[in-house]
């Protein structure tokens, strides 16, 4: 079997608990992501999602285990992995266009000024921003616009892995919906591998090829990998008509409402790999459809 594009092997994270002991966020978690896949991780607040994200980005080191991407072990941050955080992370002293060109230039040091500018503009336009806002600073943009700039910048550097940590958390529902649509459009036109965190079930179903379900911590586990067997292109009004939609949604609601707690706190002496759940004609097929390597 070919090696997965991103592979997380027996990742363990422990922190001092502040009382002389230690807190195990998760232990021996293993999972993988294929090239071009859109994987969403869904779990309650505090279970360890951002911790996983920080390790994948190289901003934090796991206590144990390895992250291998495209054949190389991840160590330290790199432009190979673009990150979009909830708080946009734009540089406040740079204009919209400069927030993008600066990253594009860093990623492509041999490009001419014109190339960098054209590439940056193209990506800002892809997320629905026009010339009018290119010379504004982040403080002169709405929250939705700032989030678009972050997304444009992330796609513009074509990272091997795009990491999105609850990127729409601070937006109102309407803006959130629009930007989810923009993200889907941009993603559909690329072969970008995306790993995204959310606690919003509907957002997860709309966007993901596959949803990883995480139990509550400490000793959280990525218990299941649910294939989103709803064809693309997807729109929020059409997916609700698909026969698998309510079965999948119900599965996720049950997991977050009940099983995330029941399964919590089990120590993982052994390697933890998620069980594959694949809905076909509204019926779950568990574990028997190893479409993917994890």
Ligand X SMILES: Nc1ncnc2c1ncn2[C@@H]1O[C@H](COP(=O)(O)OP(=O)(O)O)[C@@H](O)[C@H]1O
Binding of residue 45 to ligand X (CB under 6 A): yes
Over the window 214 to 253, marking each residue x when it contacts ligand X by CB under 6 A and - when it does not, the resulting string is ---x------------------------------------
Indicate the residue among 43 and 159 with the shorter CB distance to ligand X: 43
**Which one of ligand X, Mg ion, none interacts with residue 48, CB within 5 to 8 A by kind?**
ligand X
What the block records as the tokens of 217 is 């911590």
Indicate the residue among 53 and 157 with the shorter CB distance to Mg ion: 53
Closest CA to 210 of 225, 194, 231: 225
Give me the half-sphere count of Cα atoms (radius 13 Å) on the Cβ side of residue 195: 26
Sequence-separated (6 or more) residues with CB below 8 Å from residue 194: 37, 38, 39, 161, 162, 164, 187
Which of 48, 58, 82, 159 binds ligand X (CB under 6 A)? It is 48
**Sign of dihedral through CA atoms 226, 229, 231, 234?**
negative
Cα–Cα distance measured from residue 120 to residue 129, given in angstroms and rounded to the nearest whole number: 11
Q: Which 132-151 positions form the footprint of Mg ion (CB under 5 A)? A: none
Cα–Cα distance measured from residue 191 to residue 132, given in angstroms and rounded to the nearest whole number: 29
**Which one of ligand X, Mg ion, none interacts with residue 46, CB within 5 to 8 A by kind?**
ligand X
Size of the site for ligand X (CB under 6 A): 12
Which of 50, 78, 175, 282 binds Mg ion (CB under 5 A)? It is 50
- CA 138-53-182 angle, to 5 degrees, is 50
Indicate the residue among 49 and 119 with the shorter CB distance to ligand X: 49
Sequence-separated (6 or more) residues with CB below 8 Å from residue 193: 5, 6, 33, 34, 35, 36, 37, 38, 160, 161, 162
Binding of residue 51 to ligand X (CB under 6 A): yes
Which of 4, 32, 49, 207 binds ligand X (CB under 6 A)? It is 49
**Which one of Mg ion, ligand X, none interacts with residue 58, CB within 5 to 8 A by kind?**
none
Which span (1-9, 38-46, 63-71, 243-251) binds ligand X, by CB under 6 A?
38-46
Indicate the residue among 23 and 285 with the shorter CB distance to ligand X: 23
Q: Where is 39: in which H helix or E strand?
A: strand 38-42
**Which one of ligand X, Mg ion, none interacts with residue 211, CB within 5 to 8 A by kind?**
none
Binding of residue 87 to Mg ion (CB under 5 A): no
Cα–Cα distance measured from residue 230 to residue 112, given in angstroms and rounded to the nearest whole number: 42
Sequence-separated (6 or more) residues with CB below 8 Å from residue 224: 212, 213, 255, 274, 275, 276, 277
The residues binding ligand X (CB under 6 A) are 15, 23, 25, 43, 45-51, 217
The residues binding Mg ion (CB under 5 A) are 49-50
């Amino acid at each position: 079997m070919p090696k997965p594009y991103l592979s997380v092997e027996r990742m363990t994270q422990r922190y001092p608990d502040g009382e002389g002991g230690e807190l195990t966020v998760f232990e021996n978690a293993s999972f993988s992501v294929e090239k071009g896949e859109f994987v969403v991780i869904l779990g309650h607040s505090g279970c360890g999602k951002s911790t996983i994200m920080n390790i994948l980005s190289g901003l934090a080191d796991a206590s144990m285990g390895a992250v291998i991407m495209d054949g190389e072990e991840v160590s330290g941050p790199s432009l190979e992995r673009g990150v979009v955080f909830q708080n946009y992370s734009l540089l406040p002293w740079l204009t919209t266009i400069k927030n993008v060109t600066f990253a594009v230039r860093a990623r492509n040091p041999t490009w001419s000024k014109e190339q960098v500018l054209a590439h940056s503009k193209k990506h800002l336009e892809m997320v629905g921003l026009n010339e009018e806002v290119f010379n504004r600073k982040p403080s002169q943009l709405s929250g939705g616009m700032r989030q678009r700039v972050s997304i444009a910048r992330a796609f513009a550097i074509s990272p091997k892995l795009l990491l999105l940590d609850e990127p729409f958390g601070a937006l109102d529902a309407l803006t959130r919906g629009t930007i989810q649509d923009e993200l889907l459009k941009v993603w559909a036109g690329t072969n970008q591998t995306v790993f995204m965190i959310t606690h919003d079930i509907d957002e997860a179903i709309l966007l993901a090829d596959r949803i990883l379900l995480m139990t509550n911590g400490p000793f959280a586990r990525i218990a299941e990998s649910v294939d989103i067997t709803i064809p693309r292109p997807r729109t929020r009004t059409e997916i609700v008509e698909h026969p698998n939609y309510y079965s999948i949604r119900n599965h996720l609601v049950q997991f977050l409402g009940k099983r995330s707690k029941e399964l919590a706190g089990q120590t993982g002496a052994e390697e933890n790999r998620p069980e594959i759940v694949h809905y076909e004609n509204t019926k779950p097929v568990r574990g028997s459809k190893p479409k993917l390597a994890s």
